[in-house]
Structure 1
């Protein structure tokens, strides 16, 4: 089906004109398809990952290992979503061979080293690995979007770190909690 703006109401969550390849701290949240609890369960305020959750952890850590300009910070896997903070440091040499020099991410035209491209790659490999393990195909992580926030102040960073750390303990209060 081709794109039809009267049917497809996809809107960008990006800050208009913001360069998502620049140095900075970013908070992301990625949800499972239809918020299904695929990654494990919360037991006594602690997240217990299943093999699918272990894949999320493995690929998130690889995100920083494979990209010299990405520093992985605080993160948590939850039953049906993932929160993480990452820092982009463009002063680090880019290992990517095909950096286009493009500043703005455009729909369907990834910019190597940009936050959207990093998250897209993370979601794709997690989905592929989980589908291989399940012997299925289709969406595991919400393919159409993810939540992101540019962290601009130390106080905001500290609040997000506390939110991530407390997420398992407050699971039943979480808006993504599904019984």
Structure 2
């Protein structure tokens, strides 16, 4: 059973939960009717944005104008990415890509083929790699301005000690606390 099927077949104790599930089911049914009429993917994405009031949600949840603009721009980028495909072709592409990626990932794990791995510094703890690229090392991001400086320094140490052969640190601007203190 899919998550959607579980959502619509679940028995809810609270009326607001039942009403929300029914409202969501109605939205999905309206979008399915549009899909059956072979509308363009770009128009379908426009309609999803309208039906789920994504622009209003962004404006309500974010107060920073730059954050609001970035999130709305992401929706526009999605529309340009899908504009040339029919919804059915696009969904087939997504499904096939996901399956191929899954097959490739399990094959690579089995063959231990060299590949690029993207992970957080937290996830790299205890691991070593021939080449490591530590990106986003800039004041306010790494170290993050809302985090404890000591904890961030420990994470930085983890990041710079993962490389067996080559370590590259990407820094935008100058005078990063960690680069100046530990690597200069």
- The answer to whether TM tops 0.5 is no
Q: Which has the higher strand share?
A: 1
Name the TM tier (shorter chain): under 0.3
Q: Return the TM-score normalized by structure 1.
A: 0.27
Q: Going by fraction, where is helix more abundant, 1 or 2?
A: 2
TM-score (norm 2): 0.26
Structure with the bigger RCO (C-alpha within 8 Å, sep 6+) is 1
